[in-house]
């Protein structure tokens, strides 16, 4: 079976490697499941599945040490193993057609999950009854919005991704008459009124509400029932000197207003927005419960969907298990707030959402074909065997990689 000298090709095509990878995956998934209690589901995905290695911190130091292969690595090696096995070890035959289908489906499934990890965007929309919205908001990403409110008819917005703020370099934009200089950026922070925190050191803020507030950075959280409150200080500086340093935080309800060169502006840190080429108006939200209980029976949002090109203008009911798919996005009934006056829709954009369907259909078909071939062979042998003579046993004869696709034949 195995040659005395390790041959890289033999290694990559071997069934032993397949078994080892499957076992490693089981351990990885089990560990990740347990860790969800601490990290939450999103944190676990980042640490275990959407990574090449699972890192562990050496206690007492900040050093991260890879302790286990991550999801990307296992998936990639599994793909290599499968492809290599099919090129070098298997020869196509109808008796093995089920295995081929299954494995092709599996490769597609792994690729699809990788793509989803990269491409999928999760946003949400909170809409009050009667209100219209034309953007969704990211759950996790934030942006610094600088809005010029001078014109009575419209606003002009410059949105700067928070990732640029963390780099700390000054940002210049043709629509802004000043530089945006990030002074500090905290992925998560608490805000307190300065009057209630005696002895707090003076903050960098020189203008707006921020001068009365103390912002303290705290570690990021991934727990499902907690939120991060990104916070930062940005200095705006024109050619003739600073405009002011503002405190911006997603925890602040109001944006900061200021005037510069006779024009009026607002600045705020907010959830990253994705503007849609259509608008959604919430006409009605219903929240049914079973009579005499508080068990929810259904949540439903009746909305009006109007596209900018005027081709769509219709009513849609979005409810549990019945999302709206429109404009490359899917809108799901995700929650409610504000005494049933506000609906929360989850907006998912995933161009690769069809891949799992295709790949799973292939795998299922492959399994049915393969096990069907086994079963037919089994019954044919039983029928063919004279009474009292039993068919040779599974596993009692020689087994080896040659058996890769079929039960031992008589």
Alpha helices in 46-96 (DSSP H): 71-88
The DSSP secondary-structure symbol of 171 reads B
Nearer Cβ to other proteins (166/342): 342
369 binds other proteins, rule: CB under 8 A:
no
Considering only residues 7, 9, 11, 23, which one is a binding residue for other proteins as defined by CB under 8 A? 23
64 binds other proteins, rule: CB under 8 A:
no
Considering only residues 107, 145, 213, 348, which one is a binding residue for other proteins as defined by CB under 8 A? 348
Measured torsion, CA atoms of residues 29, 33, 34, 35, in degrees rounded to the nearest 10: 90
137 binds other proteins, rule: CB under 8 A:
no
How many whole angstroms separate alpha carbon 383 and alpha carbon 395? 21
How many whole angstroms separate alpha carbon 315 and alpha carbon 302? 7
Q: Choose the stretch contacting other proteins; rule: CB under 8 A; options: 86-94, 167-175, 276-284, 345-353.
A: 345-353
Q: Using alpha carbons, select from 227, 236, 230, 232 the residue that is nearest to residue 260.
A: 236
Q: Cβ 135 to other proteins, closest distance in Å?
A: 18
Nearer Cβ to other proteins (15/104): 15
Residue 405's Cβ-count burial label (10 Å; 0-12, 13-18, 19+) is middle
Q: Choose the stretch contacting other proteins; rule: CB under 8 A; options: 148-156, 187-195, 198-206, 288-296.
A: 288-296
To the nearest 5 percent, what fractions of the chain are helix, strand and coil?
A: 30, 35, 30
Half-sphere exposure at residue 189, Cβ-oriented, CA atoms within 13 angstroms = 22
Q: Using alpha carbons, select from 276, 284, 289, 294 the residue that is nearest to residue 343.
A: 284
Nearer Cβ to other proteins (161/372): 372
Q: Cβ 3 to other proteins, closest distance in Å?
A: 16
Q: Cβ 410 to other proteins, closest distance in Å?
A: 13
At residue 102, the 3 state secondary structure works out as: helix
Nearer Cβ to other proteins (33/261): 33
Binding to other proteins, residues 216-275 (CB under 8 A): none
Considering only residues 296, 328, 335, 384, which one is a binding residue for other proteins as defined by CB under 8 A? 296
376 binds other proteins, rule: CB under 8 A:
no
At residue 203, the 3 state secondary structure works out as: coil
399 binds other proteins, rule: CB under 8 A:
yes
120 binds other proteins, rule: CB under 8 A:
yes
CA-to-CA separations, 132 to 126, 280, 281, 303, 344, in angstroms, rounded? 10, 5, 4, 9, 13
How many whole angstroms separate alpha carbon 348 and alpha carbon 336? 17
378 binds other proteins, rule: CB under 8 A:
yes
Q: Cβ 4 to other proteins, closest distance in Å?
A: 18
Considering only residues 7, 9, 11, 26, which one is a binding residue for other proteins as defined by CB under 8 A? 26
Considering only residues 62, 290, 309, 383, which one is a binding residue for other proteins as defined by CB under 8 A? 290
Considering only residues 67, 337, 358, 394, which one is a binding residue for other proteins as defined by CB under 8 A? 394
Q: Choose the stretch contacting other proteins; rule: CB under 8 A; options: 61-69, 260-268, 310-318, 372-380.
A: 372-380
Cβ contact 99:404 at 8 Å:
yes
Nearer Cβ to other proteins (68/353): 353
Query: What backbone phi and psi angles, to 5 degrees, belong to 403?
Result: -85, 10
Considering only residues 168, 217, 335, 401, which one is a binding residue for other proteins as defined by CB under 8 A? 401
Q: What's the Rg (C-alpha) of the chain?
A: 29
383 binds other proteins, rule: CB under 8 A:
no
């Amino acid at each position: 079976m195995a040659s005395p000298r390790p041959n890289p090709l033999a290694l990559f095509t071997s069934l032993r490697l397949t078994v080892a990878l499957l076992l490693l995956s089981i351990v990885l998934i089990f560990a990740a499941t347990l860790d969800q209690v601490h990290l939450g589901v999103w944190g676990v995905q980042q640490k275990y599945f959407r990574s090449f290695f699972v890192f562990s911190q050496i206690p007492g130091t900040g050093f991260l040490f890879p302790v286990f292969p991550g999801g990307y690595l296992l998936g990639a090696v599994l793909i290599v193993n499968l492809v290599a096995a099919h090129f070098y070890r298997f020869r196509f035959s109808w008796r093995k057609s089920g295995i081929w289908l299954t494995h092709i489906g599996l490769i597609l499934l792994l690729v699809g999950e990788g793509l989803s990890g990269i491409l999928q965007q999760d946003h949400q929309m909170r809409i009050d009854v009667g209100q219209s919205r034309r953007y969704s908001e990211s759950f996790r990403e934030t942006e610094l919005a600088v809005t010029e409110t001078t014109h009575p008819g419209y606003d002009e917005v410059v949105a700067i991704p928070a990732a640029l703020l963390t780099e700390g370099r000054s940002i210049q934009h043709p629509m802004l008459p000043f530089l945006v200089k990030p002074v500090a950026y905290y992925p998560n922070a608490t805000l307190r009124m300065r009057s209630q925190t005696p002895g707090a050191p003076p903050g960098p803020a020189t203008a707006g509400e921020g001068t009365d507030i103390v912002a303290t950075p705290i570690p990021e959280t991934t727990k499902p029932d907690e939120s991060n409150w990104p916070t930062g200080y940005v200095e705006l500086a024109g050619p003739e000197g600073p405009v002011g340093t503002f405190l911006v935080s997603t925890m602040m309800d109001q944006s900061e207003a200021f005037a510069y060169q006779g024009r009026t502006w607002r600045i705020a840190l907010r959830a990253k927005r994705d503007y849609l080429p259509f608008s959604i108006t919430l006409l009605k939200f219903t929240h049914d419960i079973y009579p005499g209980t508080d068990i929810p029976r259904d949540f439903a949002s009746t909305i009006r969907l109007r596209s900018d090109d005027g081709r769509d203008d219709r009513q849609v009911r979005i409810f549990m298990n019945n999302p709206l798919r429109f404009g490359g996005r899917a809108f799901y009934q995700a929650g409610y707030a504000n005494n049933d006056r506000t609906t929360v829709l989850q907006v998912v954009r995933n161009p690769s959402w069809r891949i799992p369907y295709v790949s799973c259909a292939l795998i299922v078909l492959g399994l049915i074909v393969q096990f069907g071939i086994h079963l037919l062979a089994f019954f044919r042998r039983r029928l063919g065997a004279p009474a009292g003579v039993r068919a040779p046993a599974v596993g009692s004869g020689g087994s080896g990689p040659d058996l890769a696709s079929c039960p031992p034949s008589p």
